[in-house]
Structure 1
Amino acid sequence: MCKNKIAYVFLPAFVGLAAPAAGVAADWEVTPSLTVIETYTDNVDLDSAQAEGDFITQVAPNITVRADGPRLDLNLNYTPNYFYYPDATGDKDEIRHNLNFTANSELSEDLFFVDASANVNQRYLDRRRAVSSVDGSRTLNRATIQTYRVRPYLTHHFGSFADARLEANVRHVRSDDDERLLLAGSNFQKATSWGTSLTVDSGSQFSRIGWSYSAYYNDQQRVSADSYKNYGTRLDGSYRINRMLSLLGSFGYENRDANSAFVQFDNVVWDAGFRLVPGPRTSISFRYGNQYRGDTFSLSAFYRITPKAQLTVTYRDLLETYQTLEVIDAFVIDPFSGQISNNGTEFLDDSFVRTKTWQVSLQGERGRTTYSLSGTNRRYSNEYATRDEERSTVSASLGRRLSPKLTVSVYGSFSYSEYTYNLGTDDIPFFVPVDDKFWSAGANASYRISESLTSTVAYVYSDRSGTRLPLLNRPSNYISISIRAAL
């Protein structure tokens, strides 16, 4: 059984950060629940040479805590998932912790604030190994990754001229699943970052011209790799030509210090672009410049089709360590639902990587129907070229509330990856190109038995087809029934 107790150790500390603000009036809501799921699958062990069937019992107690007040906003969701595998050899059970926590507190009115975040989740270590669309299957390619972040900051208003913010930032990424990391061949190790920044933004007296000055320093200490430091300064400006169009630009200096020619950088940085707002439902921002070696650009476009439906298009270019990407992706806020969405880098290592990501998403509601459609293309350029990868994913979902008690949904996804795979050894490598296709589809029906009981029946099918990966190319079926009780 997994003995990971990290959620119990860190949770009181993070909640304690909000305690000074707790005395201020806030609406608190605590919702405990218990879910029991019984699943049959014909492919329970993803690492085995042949497909094996088994019944999986999952017991998932959950607690959700929300606080909403003038000086405190807090959201916590924690589930220790217990899995039991009756036909397994060796250990028959596992515990996998899932935690999402955010807190924003104002400790001194309009002066001193503290933001804290924590995320504990299961991640696949390498998409080139066994993966599944269902949590119930077992694999050594899955590990628990923990990300924690604390940001205390001070603010000051210089009348209508400018607003200043002085911030400290502490981030920690780790995994205690050392055996899984070793067996999966992952070099991902814990890292702690310390940083500070100063930002001064123009005040209300600037109408057509806006400006922002920033200076920053970050130091990331990695256990099994060299430290990574970056610092710089930047002046950002905007000029509003008319109600619809504004010109954007920035100029500054950045130093990236690491024992890697892939990331080493000491130069001027700049970009220029525009923001177009032709109406209340449309916004487009585009920037082009030099942020690393070579040209870079960014794009963010938004169109609200109806009050409950929107289309977004984004492009992101980042050069970071995998540990930093874990922190960034762990606390991404979905623009439609407003909830934390853990996108994940889907590959874990101690190296530097440059990711170029296109994402298009359509989400909405119409009456009793909810729908979503998204497409993502991400290119990984690693400091070690043999770890480069390009992945494209398309996913869709459709849900319908048939009655006040009955809801049904269907969903599906397809992922296509291109990378190289070592068929040799570390001493005598033999890399070959791989085309990897993974698709999954499912349906479920949920019925509310009473105010506190909800039952769900679900079916999921997945399959994989990859050249040079014969052991992973097999279909999987999952049939499950669950009941959730709000306590």
Structure 2
Amino acid sequence: MAQTLPGAFDQQGVNIPIQGTPNTTLQPGAAGQGAAQDQGDAQSGQGGSDEGGSGAQAAPGTRARAFGQAAPGAEAALQGVEQRRPAFVFEPNASLQGTFTDNAFLTQNSRKSDWITTPSGGIDVTGKTERSQINGTYSVSGDFYAADSQLNGYRQNLLTVDKFDVVKDAFSVELRGSIDQEDIAQTGQLAATERSGLGNQTQVANATITPKYVNKFGNWAVGTLSYSLNRVAYFNGGNNATPNNLSNSTQQNIAAELASGSIFTQLTWRLGLSDAISRGNDTHLNQQTAEIDSEYRINSMFRVPATVGYDNFAENQSAFSSSSLSGVFWSTGLHLVPGPRTELTLRYGRRYDKPYENGTLTYKILPNMTLTATYDVVVQTQQQSLASSLQGVVVDANGNFVNPIGGLPAAPNQTGNNLVNAVYRARNFQFGVSGSHGLNFFSLNGLFETRDFGGVIGSDRTQGINGTLGRNLSPLTTVTFIGQLEHTIDTGTLQNIGSNVNLLTGLDLDHKLSERTDLAFDVTRRHQYGTTRSDEDAFVIRLSHKF
């Protein structure tokens, strides 16, 4: 569900560390489709380094859904003998959930209550060898209503990030995939918990394969050639209505890059060529880009970045003029590194026939508390945005899927705004911070995005903030408060028209009955007002077990 806190209701972002030594971090793919070309610069330092990096760590205190953890005492081995572990670990899991809702049909009046029984089964696969690293989780859930069986349905959840080094340090192939259930229109009816049988939702399948070749020219330069093929598909997951105007789409991105080697310390540079293509039934976009990016290091604190390039929109099925979007672009600004805990980049220039701004901030408040923020302007399709989000998922040192902004559990198909078929110019600001102190933990994330669809189609704007505040009552019991406030204004896109405010609050109590068995209780309330008016209170009890 869009903007529902990842992990708050056992939806996505499950943690799957590999047994034994922690994983090394898988960084986002080099060919993030549809993103602005210097987006990679804006995200530099977010991969987990101690100097300015976000750490990409999972939100402290989130419920321990760590599949594949070694049992107590399993690390004890004979002195001087290294304990062996399997290269791949397959771990099935199952859960049984009961949900009471006081508004099964999400109506404004004449609310009808119901009881939903949800059995789930899944498997988690983790593995690491000399030339491969696999992290994946899949589950399928069925919702059975006691009184309104016509709402019965099922849904799937998948998240995987896999990397294979075909030729070590030279040629690799990366596979990424995500499937989950998402809301279609934020100005439509939204449920308090994830469940089937509602019209304003669809299953989203998002998959990418990226072969990449890297060649080092001594200490002088590093060359990279990559090709990324992505497919985004919307489908009926089982009694979930999918409007006909949501079309499947294929994204391709071919990129060649030559970057400065280690011999360059004061002046670094990068030459890049890319061809990003997005083709769906109703929307085509083809953006070809050439750019030169450089950064001059004045001293250890001050650096000056500069970028110049050319965009050519060879195909543009939208309300925008290709001639206006195409042309020379440039940006420059300031890159500040005042210390090992702080890194700030601010850029200003012109691109897509408009002023262009870009910025990123990483501030390590404490060793276990990091603030990250990004702002960018980009022209892309909805499907390219989903593909880029999937490319941005990282696997941290503990094997958790996380979002580099805020380090919270990753949910790449969540958009926070309406799902549409269109090319748009987006201005996007995101921030995230999470941390812990003693037995307490918290997280806070924000999204502010405006999308302009050009011409007479209109625009939409989403402003949202969500957070968690929790405490470990004991080594086995955790309580978490969840809050989310979102405001969406749609002035006439292809999806819906209206203005809605959504307020979600919840309280979660999680208790470990054993090392592999959890019992959880959730109380959740969603209040909607504006174009759509609906209230729902839900109570959830869930028993889960890892085999």
2:445 counterpart of 1:381: no
Which residue of 185, 192, 215 maps to 2:250? 192
**Aligned-partner SS, 1:204:** coil
Identify which range, 208-217 or 63-72, moves more after superposition: 63-72
Q: Which amino acid aligns with 1:375?
A: G
Q: TM-score, normalised by structure 2?
A: 0.77
Return the offset for 1:200.
0.6
Structure with the higher fraction of residues in strand conformation: 1
Partner of 1:214: 272
Partner of 1:453: 517
Return the offset for 1:39.
0.8
2:489 counterpart of 1:418: yes
Q: Which amino acid aligns with 2:251?
A: S
Q: Which amino acid aligns with 2:417?
A: E
Aligned CA distance change for structure 1 residues 341 and 474 (closer, same or farther; 3 Å): closer
Q: What does 1:27-176 correspond to in 2, within 5 Å?
A: 27-46=87-106, 50-90=110-150, 92-136=151-195, 138-176=197-235
Percent identity, aligned pairs only, is 21
Return the offset for 1:48.
8.1
Aligned CA distance change for structure 1 residues 32 and 438 (closer, same or farther; 3 Å): same
- The CA deviation string for residues 53-84 of structure 1, in whole angstroms up to 9 with x for no partner, is 10001111121111233321211011111111
2:507 counterpart of 1:437: no
Return the offset for 1:384.
5.6
Q: Take 1:323 and 1:180, find their aligned partners in 2: how far apart are those partners?
A: 23
Please list every run of at least 4 consecutive aligned residues from structure 1 whose deviation after the TM superposition is greater than 6 angstroms. Answer: 178-181
Q: Take 1:60 and 1:178, find their aligned partners in 2: how far apart are those partners?
A: 14
Q: What does 1:394-405 correspond to in 2, within 5 Å?
A: 394-405=465-476
Answer yes or no: is the 8 Å Cα contact 2:126–2:134 preserved in 1: yes
- The CA deviation string for residues 424-477 of structure 1, in whole angstroms up to 9 with x for no partner, is xx9xxxx98x442110111011111112211111100111110xx3xx313211
Answer yes or no: is the 8 Å Cα contact 2:186–2:416 preserved in 1: no
Partner of 2:308: 251
2:301 counterpart of 1:237: no
- The CA deviation string for residues 411-431 of structure 1, in whole angstroms up to 9 with x for no partner, is 111112223369xxx9xxxx9
More relative contact order, 1 or 2 (CA 8 Å, 6+ apart): 2
Q: TM-score, normalised by structure 1?
A: 0.87
- The CA deviation string for residues 287-332 of structure 1, in whole angstroms up to 9 with x for no partner, is 1112212011111011111100112222122211111112122443
Answer yes or no: is the 8 Å Cα contact 1:71–1:106 preserved in 2: yes
Q: Take 1:406 and 1:441, find their aligned partners in 2: how far apart are those partners?
A: 20
Q: Take 1:149 and 1:263, find their aligned partners in 2: how far apart are those partners?
A: 29
2:267 counterpart of 1:204: no
Number of equivalences: 448
Aligned CA distance change for structure 1 residues 300 and 442 (closer, same or farther; 3 Å): same
- The CA deviation string for residues 61-118 of structure 1, in whole angstroms up to 9 with x for no partner, is 121111233321211011111111121153x521101100111111112221101111
Identify which range, 255-264 or 407-416, moves more after superposition: 255-264
**Aligned-partner SS, 2:155:** strand
**Aligned-partner SS, 2:387:** helix
Partner of 2:82: none
- List alignment gaps of at least 5 residues for structure 2: 1-84, 394-402
Aligned CA distance change for structure 1 residues 229 and 180 (closer, same or farther; 3 Å): farther
Return the offset for 1:218.
2.5
- List alignment gaps of at least 5 residues for structure 1: 1-24
Q: What does 1:253-268 correspond to in 2, within 5 Å?
A: 253-256=310-313, 257-262=315-320, 264=322, 265-268=325-328
Q: Take 1:479 and 1:439, find their aligned partners in 2: how far apart are those partners?
A: 17
Answer yes or no: is the 8 Å Cα contact 2:230–2:250 preserved in 1: yes
Aligned CA distance change for structure 1 residues 48 and 84 (closer, same or farther; 3 Å): farther
Q: Take 2:152 and 2:391, find their aligned partners in 1: how far apart are those partners?
A: 29
Q: Take 2:237 and 2:90, find their aligned partners in 1: how far apart are those partners?
A: 34
Q: Which amino acid aligns with 1:205?
A: I
Answer yes or no: is the 8 Å Cα contact 1:407–1:447 preserved in 2: yes
Answer yes or no: is the 8 Å Cα contact 2:504–2:524 preserved in 1: yes
Return the offset for 1:214.
0.7
